[in-house]
Amino acid sequence: MHAERDHLVFPALEERLRARAHHLAPIDLRLGVETAGAPDAGAPDAGGDLWIEIVSSGAPNKRPDPVSDDGRSEIVATLDAMEKQFVADVARGRKTTVEKALADFGRGGVKVGADAVKAGMADKVQSYDAALGALRRMVANQRKLAALKQN
């Protein structure tokens, strides 16, 4: 799953953004939240770019140091809060409980196809074309219904 994203989608998008002096920061939306710190200032990344982050003195928790105990605690507290909200939103969207989502929805991993359906994470397995066709029919039906209500 990540191979398609990491090798097909992101490099092409990143190249287009880099030409416009922008940086792509992909977000992983699996059930669970993670983050990573920036490379050490003064050390170029694998692409030769040098990243320097400067944070105002009034916002010390904007970029906590992931190596220090205090910084790591700050990061974990933020991630836990994000995860709590995300899991609650997923549970509500899937019409289940937070407890079931935490126990059965992969615990940060990935469930694919029929396994995701069985766990309650998805409604069915179908092709992209089938899903797009169903979405188009749904939108067309909603437009017809809205037109009928106006008459």
How far apart CA 106 and CA 122 sit, in angstroms, is: 12
| Structural tokens at position 40 | 């050490």
Domain ranges for the chain, please list them. 1-30, 31-150
- Give the pTM: 0.55
How far apart CA 99 and CA 109 sit, in angstroms, is: 16
**H or E element that contains 71:** helix 69-93
Our CA angle for 57, 60, 61, nearest 5°, is 155
One digit per residue, pLDDT tens: the chain, 151 residues? Answer: 455 455 555 677 777 777 777 776 665 544 554 445 555 556 777 777 776 666 677 777 777 888 889 989 998 998 999 999 999 999 999 999 999 999 999 898 889 999 999 999 999 999 999 999 999 999 999 999 999 999 7
